[in-house]
Amino acid sequence: MVEALRPGPGSYFADGTVGGGGHAAALLRASGPGGRLAGCDRDGMAVEAAKARLSEFAGRFEIRQGNYAELAEWVEAGSCDGVLLDLGVSSAQLDLAERGFSFQEDGPLDMRMDQRQELTAARLVNETDADALAEIFWRYGNQEQSRRMARAIAREREARPIERTRQLAELIEKISPRMGRKTHPATRIFQALRMAVNDEIGSLQRGLEAAMKILKPGGRLAVITFHSVEDRVVKEFGRRLSRDYESPGEEDVPELRRPRPALARWVWRRGLKAGEAETRENPRSRSAQCRVLEKLKI
């Protein structure tokens, strides 16, 4: 991150996923004594943890609980040298069974990053009709047997509500036995539910736009993704901004292109991955990739 965002004396950063404050601390240290940071996280527990971790930099940061999609509402337009988004869940969230993100240990089917929100994974699983559930599993989990899984869930919940993480994982395992596979068959279902509960793709799309607004020309946006569904959104965003034309609608139809200067350039277009030493020390970094874009002066 430090290499990607090049902190200098007095740099100003926005960290949209401040989590435990690890990246924020590195950026503040590397931009001291005048560097500043605006940070947010949807998770109130993360906000408290980050404030404690960053106490040595008191006076140089402001941290709020909130969605990074709303960063441009409180961080001044054109003010940041760098913006960081480190997507997904944190180890602190995964490792706490009560948060319901993991089925390694039993917990309530919750998965809310912001616990002030009403929608939980249990509500989604018990109240969404089978077709819409299948769509979530397909779209956010690339789950091949999405319809079968959704129908089995709909049958099960008629007998009793599905309220616990192990209960759901065991049901999925019954429909799709593991048979020597390395990853548990429920992994993609849990990923898909988590993304739907937290509207992660909607937040990412709005967050990338917000990041571009608050960056200075020449400022950099670094995004760390953990799976192909979110990575595709970042790649497509970068591709669109680095073109010297715009196309109306979803499709890029050559006849409809309108010329305009490129708004950004790729610094790391091909995602940078963790090396062997880092994955050994931190196995969860295995699936992470970092892409970096620079806002252009126009």
Query: Where on the chain is the footprint of ligand SAM (CB under 6 A)?
Result: 16-17, 19-23, 40-43, 46, 67-69, 86, 88-90, 113, 203
In the complex with ligand SAM, the residue whose CB is nearer, 99 or 235, is 99
Least CB distance from residue 290 to ligand SAM, whole Å? 11
Least CB distance from residue 247 to ligand SAM, whole Å? 27
Least CB distance from residue 86 to ligand SAM, whole Å? 4
- Helix ranges (H only) for 99-227 are 121-127, 130-141, 146-159, 165-175, 187-197, 200-214
Q: Say if CB 31 and CB 14 are below 8 A apart.
A: no
Name every residue whose Cβ is closer than 8 Å to that of residue 282 and which is 6 or more positions away in sequence: 274
In the complex with ligand SAM, the residue whose CB is nearer, 45 or 175, is 45
In the complex with ligand SAM, the residue whose CB is nearer, 1 or 150, is 1
297 DSSP assignment: P
Least CB distance from residue 215 to ligand SAM, whole Å? 17
* Token code pair at residue 162: 């599905």
Overall size of the chain counted in residues: 298
Residue labelled with tokens 């337009």:
77
In the complex with ligand SAM, the residue whose CB is nearer, 167 or 287, is 287
* Token code pair at residue 287: 């699936």
CA distance 230 to 233: 5
Least CB distance from residue 44 to ligand SAM, whole Å? 9
Q: Which residue is nearest to ligand SAM (CB)?
A: 19
Bridge partner residues of 224 (DSSP):
86, 290
- Three-state DSSP state, 292: strand
In the complex with ligand SAM, the residue whose CB is nearer, 113 or 133, is 113
**CA nearest neighbour of 145 among 181, 182, 173, 107:** 173
In the complex with ligand SAM, the residue whose CB is nearer, 171 or 220, is 220
Residue labelled with tokens 């509960």:
197
Least CB distance from residue 251 to ligand SAM, whole Å? 28
